[in-house]
Chain A
């Protein structure tokens, strides 16, 4: 078994209004930052998952994201499996 770092990003689905992102986007030019055309705010959840391989770690993270971390009515989750370390 290995322990995988798994990153789950929960974001609003495209087309769902993101008032938090819109507020940040409006604030940026006031601070002198130009050229940012869109800001979307979400959540990042880091997991340490023990699994035999990266595919299994990713599949587990997707299942728990669909069940709990994201509300499929307005949110979607993307799962990225990162580095692994051996677990004795």
Chain B
């Protein structure tokens, strides 16, 4: 008997624009995906949650600043506290920092340029759901597409990120001035992950596929949790 598919909730805000790409990529990897509108105060039956990229609430004030107050974020916060794997991609990463589910913030790119193109990242920690099935040091080509992607935090926070192995991905060649070349981090508990690159855009054999092992690893973490009794 095959295991039941991993149930993935993909949160959609007004202004999100990567939710269908994420849903498509996760479904190809075998997940049972549902889109959850931002006014829902419940994620529905889910083993993992993804906040996709885009411009939630138009990025008014700051990226993620208003999305944090959408009703669904209370449900995401509860799920995160409960240990569910939660992934924020690009704008989703910005939202998770504004919601204080991840430390620090994403500042404007160093050269004030909107960056869009392939980008090489290196796995620096395998303690997070996103990278648990990969090897440290593995390099992946995953596209970036952002204006505010330079990770910033105070020195104490950076110290605890390093100490806790919570820096998940680093840029091989820093494109945006991000502190310590950070491309993705996890929460202290490890289950909440944010990254600026878009793994869902590198999941098709007709183009690039380096994003697939990241999302497959993330889903596997959800499957393990589901298998352990949810």
Binding site for B on A (CB under 8 A): 16-17, 19-20, 23, 68-69, 71, 73-74
Chain B interface extent, by class: 10 to 19
Please state if B110 and A16 are interface contacts (CB–CB under 8 Å): no
* Interface stretch (choices B23-31, B75-83, B101-109, B119-127): B101-109
Binding site for A on B (CB under 8 A): 61-62, 65, 97-98, 104-105, 107-112, 152-154, 177
Interface centre among A16, A68, A69, A73 (most CB of B within 10 A): A73
In the complex, chain B residues whose CB is within 8 Å of the CB of A73: 97, 104-105, 152-154
In the complex, chain B residues whose CB is within 8 Å of the CB of A17: 107, 110, 177
Please state if B62 and A71 are interface contacts (CB–CB under 8 Å): yes
In the complex, chain A residues whose CB is within 8 Å of the CB of B109: 19
Interface centre among A23, A68, A71 (most CB of B within 10 A): A71
Interface centre among B62, B65, B97 (most CB of A within 10 A): B62
Please state if A68 and B65 are interface contacts (CB–CB under 8 Å): yes
- The distance in angstroms between the C-alpha atoms of A71 and B99, with both chains bound, is 11
Of the candidates A19, A69, A71, A74, the one whose C-beta lies within 8 Å of that of B111 is: A19
9 nearest A-B pairs in the assembled complex, by CB-CB distance = A73-B105, A19-B112, A71-B105, A74-B152, A74-B105, A19-B108, A74-B107, A71-B62, A73-B104
Please state if B112 and A20 are interface contacts (CB–CB under 8 Å): yes
Q: How near does chain B come to A21, taking the closest CB pair, in angstroms?
A: 10
B109 (CB) vs chain A CBs: closest residue? A19
